[in-house]
Structure 1
Amino acid sequence: MSFAMGSSGRWLAACVMLWSCQAMAQTTAPVAPQTSAASAATAQEIPFAPAHDTIITTQSAPNAWGGERTGNEPTLSDRVVSYTIDADLDAAKHAVTGTEHMTWRNRSDREVHSVYFHLYLNAFQNEGSTFFTERKVLTAHGSSRGNAELEKGQWGWVRLQSVQQNGTPVTWSFVHPDGGPSTDETVVRIDLAQPVPAGGTLALDIDFLSQLPRVVERTGWWGDFNLVGQWFPKIGVLELPGERGATEVRWNVHEFHFESEFYADFGLYDVHLTVPSDYTVGAVGKLQGTPEQKNGKTTYHFVQGDVHDFAWVAAKGFKTMDGTYEGPGSPKVAVRVIYPAEYEASAAPTLKSTIDALGYFSRTLGAYPYETVTAVIPPYNADEAGGMEYPTFFTSEGYKVVEPDTAYQMLSDFVNIHEFGHGYFYGILASNEFEEPILDEGLNEYWDNRMLRERKQDLVLATPFTKSLGITPRISGFAFERATATLFHPADPLAQNSWDRLSGTSYGTVYSRTATAMHDLEERLGRPALEKAFKLYYQRWHFRHPSVADFRAALIDSSGNAKDVDAIFNEYVYGTAFIDDKVADIDSYEVQPQAGVTWKDGKQTEVDAEELDKQIDKQRSDWEKAHKDAKPGAPGPFPWHSTVTVTRDGASAPELLRVTFEDGTHEDVTWNDDRRWARFEFVKPSKVVSAELDPDQHDLLDRGRLNNSQTTEPDGAASRRWTADAAALMQSISALLTTL
């Protein structure tokens, strides 16, 4: 998902909802859902993955998901499932009639009597879904996307019309693996007529009807635009012991939570799409042959193997722009942008940034393995369909004007890079977005910012209006991530799942706080070492399903630096720690001869204080006569003893302390231990006039950087700079919001 986020009548509404559900069940489900004691007992044979205790600290077994892919296998992934789907779009009703033939391989060592499917569109059928009930709570305590209000005729759902196993009708019933409301219908159990033996294959034929909602989040319609995502019955994942923390065979099939995304097995998709002939179509995968026209409709045939989802777009009056990418190890990649005429200005920038991202991700992680990439720019009023990823297919954002060196160009580039990047972290690595959004949203956000840094591309906050005033504020990508990472009060560990969050804002920090934590880990390990570790992570886990623990193991194995990796993971990935180091005091005094008694060679000598004062005065006077041209701050007749005190309110982090002396010289010392405070002493010709922790800003996790430095004399330059920058930033944001 893109980085952009974000009673009275209840009884009557509940009655209407209940009546609607009953009516729809009577009219759209010839084989009604059933529940029996026998089927309930069968369902308990294989348990669900935990609903809440989802943080994984034990790495997967070496043979998880069939073991590391070497490239010598007949297919890129170990294909567990295949879907052959025929879909027909009723453009007037925004409804899709579908037939699905699904085959699924039982990888476990036991018979499977029931299987579980996601019916994601049912999240949008009424306010009783897990999605909507969670939305009420999370949006009340923070911002998020997905806040569109659905009106009459705008709800969406998916109905199973019939399900057959080898020609025998089977029954189904709705279940709630995460303990969600009984009115949620996003997970369905299908009780089989014949069990699937260990290692055996299941074939199901499913007729279904999908009603798209008015665009509310990720999927839906607006006008003649139809973004068809999460639209077909999709089988859950059967995990085996040693895979992603599993200790027994289990079904990982979570309800569609408000903040969650998706998780599925790799497989083959063979899909025919029939739409009105005047609609533009794009989809996951590669178009096969020439589309066939008949009776005012056109059928398109798309095929893609080694992916775990399928989405498509059908939009009237949309245009296309094409390009190609060719790089080492990749096939020739056809890149297409599908866009409305109103956002023509965004087409070329989207094409360019997508091709650029293909090159960067291929070079830094692994060669792009597919033959297509399709980017879709939704029309005005369908923004919630933008900023979303599917394998080989993503949605972006459109602008009527995309001038260079403005916020519109920056937003266009960043969203395109981010959504394409998901093709690696969500698509090829296929992490579980339900349980571990850090591995997708977080790591992708970090890698996107590395690409921007390599391109020397800051986040520009200027609009054409502010540029006309000579105001072009900008901020580096990582500085922006730090500013939005809520470092002062992190509510949840980064490794937490997507739904057990304090708020939508807390979920949002998965993006920014992960990017910040990975930036700081990069600073500790070194950029080359960190990039090498990510390449190892990708090599081990591409076309498999890694966990956070697997990612941690790859970092340690590659870098050999368990100390720094564990520090980041224990405190930020698995914890809610913060850094807050500060310069507390600077104290200096001249090192002058001392009064009192001393012993040397057995003889006692006493220095009288009054005589000593005269001696010091004479020594100072003689020095001043001899150095009439000495500049202020130059070394004097006596050295200086300076003490810099630093204190720590949060987790320990390796710090560099830069101490500057009055003569303009400076000295760097390291503070790399667990002490809550430390004092550093200096005897130099000049006194200390300033001290700064982390002057090169390696530790962006420090929540209060304004206390990282101190001077002995008041200096208004910093406050004037911050005030000017803040004023320019606010002016630009105000202008940007006005012109959007």
Structure 2
Amino acid sequence: MKKLSWLLMASICVPLSAQSYWQQFVDYKMDIHMQVDKFQYDGKMEVTYSNNSDDTLDKIYFHLYYNAFQPGSLMDERLKSIEDPDRRMTNNVGTKDNPIYESRISKLTPEEIGFVKMNSIHQNGKALDFKSMGTILEVSLKEPLGPKSSTTLKLDWKSQVPKIIRRGGRDSSEGIDFSMTQWYPKIAQYDTEGWHLDEYIGREFYAPFGNFDVKITLPSNYIVGASGELQNEDSMPGYSNKKFKKRSNITWNFKAENIHDFAWGADPDYVVEKQQVPNGPVLYYLYDKNLDKEFVNHWQTAKPKVVEFFQFMDKNFGAYPWSTYSIIQGGDGGMEYGTSTLITGKRNFESLLGVIYHEAAHSWFQHLFAFDETRDEWMDEGFTTYAEAAAMAEIMDANKNQINPFQGAYNGYYHLAQSGKEEPMSLLADYYDTNFAYSLAAYYKGQVYVAQLGYIIGEDALKETFKKFYEDWSMKHPKLGDFQKVAQEVSGINLKWYNNLFVNTIRTIDYGVEKVEGRKVSLKNHSNFAMPLDVLVTYKDGSKELFYIPINAMRGSKEKENKFYQGIKSTQLKDWGWTYDSYEFEAAKDVQKVEIDYTQRLADVNRANNIYPAPQP
């Protein structure tokens, strides 16, 4: 775990580029004893909380996520009220033609619900007052925690693992016994905005970085995969070739540094396989040994491609800093955690590889950067899906016949923009009116944000932006403004207008070629969203010229992108003032054809008017 030392120091030291930056830190030490027949466990935890702020804290808050899986919870009520509830969390009690979706949480029995019941909390030997409010635990300190100091709390609690409804729980649809995610009392995030106390209704997370030392005791026939490094690997079933005496219980010990969530899975039928990424982490694969041969073959075929993925990410987005990454069959789809993921395993090869790429890419954008996913979930999901698509394009030659390898995301965004259901990406994740709008905004529009940024500042500048962003903000909690500042420093282009319009509004882009007369080209902005334009002109003699038109709000311009326009003369025209709806320029020769954004990276919702003469239907 020595590889983490420089990042740990960077997270503690005051960065030169942000003199006032601070963040909280947590050390978790847990001792967990499972009663697998009851689907319950007893938990003891010693947690040291470091207050690096200038504030004095008289309370500390925890998340108790399991409490959401009870009839009448906010998550239960949300499933009843939203017009398009998550199908994984509901049952259709109507018909195929007239579906009526019923919350699965509302039907959980007392033996099937999840809960976290605190027995006691102590600070320096003194019992503390606490109260649970849904999925939030409020703890009143006897000794207030002053600035630049730490305190240690001891928690004793009992939990019941719920029947799997969302992400974690027991008895997955594929027969995995335990998918242990969002399972322990987790300290809430405190930053310059104060405490972040979002009730858990099924969306994403935000938490301080921490170190984890977790001991899990359960029957010896179980095999466990988890975040971090297994400390007693040489003596544990599934990981060692040694023969073991039958024991009633064994204790697994996993440790991880500088992550902000810890997950694990347990099943008697796990197979454990290891793979070393050259100059990278050890990969662990845990899946059901009883999977059909077809699915096992997919897992085996994926393994060398997963190594290539980690090498691709290291080269393009920064080095993976942890020593391990575990891919564990479990859960209800795919979900990212610190140095691990839980995914369903009965998938075709393309689906399996895609979900592994997606969840592993989260190691950068969810874990290295620890975005506030309760508000900027689109940054995590959008940046992640961008990296996933880029990796697929390079490693698997996916979308090789498309000019824009991110075209699928653009199509998803266009569908959202024309649906009448779009809401701004800056909306708090839990508050979207529909799952439809949330999903398309987070995964598709968020990805388009990145791909279109490459169009604005240039692909080379975008690559350098990600590298510098990694250098400046790894193991911290950057916000959109921090990413914007890095992109501006790298490209020399102001981006305030872009972030404001694309993130905080639902305005759309629509440019068109108005008319062409000889050498004169007239363009029109049919929208209220100004953007720079790449205009490719084909002359009547067959030659081509690229005309680049920045907008004045950029206060700069991008370099010519030879990747797309190699061998084509490029001419930069005067800025297009963003308050003007029309623009004219004169080409060098008589014009045959004009096309706005040949590369299709401009998120123009009406491409029909981007080409002159208009293509025949």
Q: TM-score, normalised by structure 1?
A: 0.68
Matching residue of 2:117 = 159
- Secondary structure of residue in 1 paired with 2:406: helix
- Change over 3 Å in CA distance of 1:666–1:286 after alignment to 2: closer
- 2:566 matched residue in structure 1: none
2:166 maps to 1:217: yes
Deviation at residue 572 of structure 1 after TM alignment:
0.6
Q: CA deviation at 1:238?
A: 2.5
Q: Give the 3-state SS of the residue equivalent to 1:306 in structure 2.
A: strand
Structure 1 residue 112, shift from structure 2 partner: 2.7
Contact 1:124 1:155 survives alignment (8 Å): yes
Change (3 A) 1:662 1:142: farther
- The answer for the alignment partner of 2:200 in structure 1 is 256
Q: 1:573 maps to what in 2?
A: 503
For residues 476-520 of structure 1, give each alpha carbon's deviation from its aligned partner in whole angstroms, at most 9, with x where no partner exists.
640111111123357333233212323212211112112112111
Mapped to 1, the partners of 2:598 and 2:75 lie a distance apart of 45
1:276 aligns with 2:219: yes
In the other structure, the counterpart of 1:654 is 532
Change (3 A) 1:130 1:353: farther
The letter of the residue matching 2:260 is: H
The alignment status of 1:561 with 2:496, answered yes or no, reads no
Q: 1:697 aligns with which of 576, 593, 600?
A: 600
Pair 1:522-2:454 in alignment:
yes
Contact (CA 8 Å) 2:62, 2:188: kept in 1 or not?
yes
**For 1:227, which of 179, 182, 185 is the aligned residue?**
179
The match for 1:540 is 472
Check conservation: 1:146, 1:217, Cα contact below 8 A: yes
Match of 1:131 in 2: 75
TM-superposed deviation, 1:186: 0.5
Q: Give the secondary structure class of the aligned counterpart of 2:207.
A: coil
Preserved contact between residue 495 and residue 573 of structure 1 (Cα < 8 Å): yes
Aligned equivalents of 1:215 and 1:475: distance in 2? 42
Tell me if structure 2 keeps the 8 A contact 1:646–1:678: yes
Which residue in 2 is equivalent to 1:707? Answer: 609
Which residue identity lines up with residue 167 of structure 1 in the other structure?
G
Q: Tell me the equivalent position of 2:144.
A: 195
Give 2:52's match in structure 1, choosing from 104, 107, 111.
Answer: 107
The aligned counterpart of 2:431 is: 500
Q: How many residues end up aligned between the 2 structures?
A: 542
Shift of 1:224: 4.6
Q: Is the 8 A contact 1:581 1:650 kept in 2?
A: no
Question: Identity of aligned pairs, percent?
Answer: 26
Query: How far is the alpha carbon of 1:522 from its aligned partner?
Result: 0.8
* Largest Rg, 1 or 2: 1
Amino acid at match of 1:325: V
Distance 1:135 1:233 in 2: 24
| Contact 1:388 1:395 survives alignment (8 Å) | yes
Report the Cα distance in structure 2 between the residues aligned to 1:363 and 1:642, rounded to whole angstroms. Answer: 45
What amino acid sits opposite 1:573 in the alignment?
A: V
Counterparts of 1:496 and 1:65, CA distance in 2? 31
Q: What is the rounded CA distance, in whole Å, between the counterparts of 1:211 and 1:409 in structure 2?
A: 35
Matched residue, 1:388: 335
For residue 695 of structure 1, report the CA deviation from its aligned partner. Answer: 1.9
Cα distance in structure 2, aligned partners of 1:431 and 1:645: 39
Corresponding residue for 1:361? Answer: 313
Q: What is the distance in 1 between the residues matched to 2:402 and 2:248?
A: 51
Correspondent of 1:416 among 341, 356, 373: 356
Distance 2:256 2:189 in 1: 19
* Change over 3 Å in CA distance of 1:211–1:455 after alignment to 2: same
Partner of 1:609: none
2:403·2:600 contact (CA, 8 Å) conserved in 1?
A: no
Query: Residues 427 and 494 of structure 1: is their aligned pair in 2 closer, same or farther, counting only changes over 3 Å?
Result: same
2:16 pairs with 1:85:
no
Q: Against the structure 1 CA distance between its residues 684 and 439, is the aligned structure 2 distance closer, same or farther, given a 3 Å change threshold?
A: closer
Kindly provide the amino acid, as one letter, of the partner of residue 479 in structure 1.
Q
Q: Distance in 2 between matches of 1:293 and 1:272?
A: 20
Question: Does the 8 Å CA contact 1:532/1:558 hold for their aligned counterparts?
Answer: yes
Matches within 5 A, 1:406-555: 408-455=348-395, 457-458=397-398, 477-485=405-413, 486-488=416-418, 491-508=422-439, 509-555=441-487
2:581 matches 1:676:
yes
The letter of the residue matching 1:152 is L
SS at match of 2:141: strand
State the shift of 1:412 in Å.
2.1
Please name the residue that 2:14 is paired with. 67
Which amino acid in 1 is paired with 2:504?
A: Y
Closer, same or farther in 2 for the Cα pair 1:80/1:643, shift >3 Å? closer
Whether the 8 Å CA contact 2:30–2:46 is kept in 1: the answer is: yes
Gaps of 5+ in 2: 1-9, 92-103, 237-243, 551-575
Query: For 1:692, what is the secondary structure of its paired residue?
Result: strand
Letter in 1 for 2:581: R
- Give the Å deviation of 1:656: 2.8
Question: Does 2:281 correspond to 1:336?
Answer: no
Partner Cα separation in structure 2 for residue 683 and residue 234 of structure 1: 65
Relative to structure 1, is the Cα distance of residues 522 and 683 closer, same or farther in structure 2, using a 3 angstrom cutoff? closer
Deviation at 1:99, TM superposition (A): 1.2
Q: In structure 1, what is the Cα distance between the partners aligned to 2:536 and 2:481? A: 36
**Which ranges of structure 1 fall in alignment gaps of 5 or more residues?**
1-62, 71-76, 176-184, 241-245, 401-407, 461-472, 589-639, 720-740
The change in CA–CA distance for 1:560 and 1:156 in structure 2 (over 3 A counts) is same
Say if 1:171 and 1:409 are closer, same or farther in 2 by CA, change over 3 A.
same
Q: Which residue of 2 aligns with 1:297?
A: 249
Q: Which residue matches 1:312?
A: 264
Paired residue type of 1:360: F
- Is the contact between residue 321 and residue 348 of structure 1 (CA under 8 Å) also seen in structure 2? no
Counterpart Cα distance in 2 of 1:646 and 1:671 = 13
* Match of residue 377 from structure 1: 329
Match of residue 267 from structure 1? 210
* 1:467 aligned partner: none
Of 572-581 and 293-302, the range deviating more from structure 2: 293-302
Cα deviation per residue 1:613-641 (whole Å; 9 max; x = unaligned)? xxxxxxxxxxxxxxxxxxxxxxxxxxx67
TM-aligned CA deviation for residue 682 of structure 1: 6.3
Match of 2:130 among 172, 176, 179: 172
Partners in 1 of 2:541 and 2:490 — Cα distance?
44
In the TM superposition, what is the alpha-carbon distance from 1:272 to its structure 2 partner? Answer: 0.8
Shift of 1:312: 0.5
CA distance in structure 1 between the aligned counterparts of 2:523 and 2:371, rounded to whole angstroms: 45
Displacement of 1:219 after TM fit?
A: 0.7
Computed over aligned residues only, the root mean square deviation of the Cα atoms, in angstroms, reads 3.0
Cα shift readout 1:430-455 (whole Å, capped 9, x = no counterpart) = 12211221331122222222222333
Distance 1:98 1:293 in 2: 27
Does the CA contact (< 8 Å) of 2:59 and 2:138 recur in 1? yes
TM-score (norm 2): 0.80
